Structure 1
Amino acid sequence: MTTIKITTNYYAPIEKVFNINRNIDIHQQSASKTKEIAIAGITSGLINKNETVTWKGKHFGLYLTHQSLISEMIFPTYFVDEQLKGNFKSFKHQHFFEQKENYVEVTDILEYETPFGIFGKLFDKLLLKKHLTNFIIHRNSVLKNLAENQTCQVY
């Protein structure tokens, strides 16, 4: 099992930060480098507990699909998306939102396992962990800019 932990500080109201992080349209915007689009389930707007979304995106030169379930949600402090179908042996992404004095601290904890035994572990060590880390860092920078933009409205 591999764990990636990334913390990002947002200078915006916690409700806005939470909603931007679970907005399908904004995710597609933040994942434009991988051409990620929602193709099934909730395909636009805010996703909620017990709802699913299926993503299709280009990673490592291949178009891959990944179906996620929002398995837990406590507005506006926590939600979890977990793989139902996809290329990982297991995949769980926890999102923690904590109000600090003048900002919101968002912590992403991504835990996953690759298939294919030693070959999957080698692929993870050589490429996948760095790819996923950079993906989340880029995504968070887009989300942070939107959250801190006073004219951005999220419904």
Structure 2
Amino acid sequence: MRHFEITTVLMAPPERVFEACLDVEEHTRSMGASSERVVSGRTRGVLALGESVTFQARHFGVTWRLTARITSWEPPWHFVDEQEAGPFKQWRHEHRFEPDGSGGTIMTDLIDFASPLGVLGKLADTAVLGWYMPKLIRSRDAHLARIL
């Protein structure tokens, strides 16, 4: 299992950042480079506890689908999305939001993931996904910083 954390400071209060991170349409805009789109579940608006969404995107020349469900939700401080179906053996993304003391938010992404296929999956996690996934999350966070 791989783990990484990314901290981003955003110039908006936690309530706005929390909502933007749960907005399905904003998520697809943040992942435009991979042609991400919603194919089932909530297709518009903001996800809530227990809701799921299936995204389709293209990475490494292959089209993938990932269904994620919101499994923990404490507005505006914390939520977790976890893969229900998709390319990973396991995917868990914890989002934390705290005030920065000047009207902004310190957002922390804590991500745990593992690829399927045993040794081959571990090799993919180490050789490729270990750098690719943090890059993808940083790109999403930069998008949020621009819009907020």
The alignment's TM-score, normalised by the length of structure 1, stands at: 0.93
| Other-structure match for 2:9 | 9
Tell me what 1:93 maps to.
Answer: 93
Unaligned stretches of 5+ in structure 1?
Answer: 148-155
Single out whichever of 111-120 and 77-86 deviates more from structure 2.
Answer: 111-120
Opposite residue 5 of structure 1, the aligned amino acid is: E
Match of 2:74 in 1: 74
Give structure 1 regions of 4+ aligned residues with deviation exceeding 3 angstroms: none
Could you tell me which amino acid in structure 2 is paired with residue 58 of structure 1? Answer: R
Q: What is the one-letter code of the residue matched to 1:51?
A: E
- Aligned partners of 1:100, 1:83: CA distance in 2, in Å? 30
- Structure 2-normalised TM-score? 0.97
- SS of equivalent to 1:48: coil
State whether structure 2 residue 59 is matched by structure 1 residue 63.
no
Give percent identity, aligned residues only: 32
Letter in 2 for 1:42: R
Partner residue in 1 for 2:23: 23
Ranges in structure 2 where 5+ consecutive residues have no aligned partner: none
Q: 5 Å matches for 1:1-155?
A: 1-102=1-102, 103-147=104-148
Name the structure 2 match of 1:150.
none
**May I ask how many residue pairs the two structures share in their alignment?**
147
1:145 counterpart SS class: helix
RMSD in angstroms over aligned alpha carbons?
A: 0.7
Deviation at 1:100, TM superposition (A): 2.1
- AA aligned to 2:26 is I
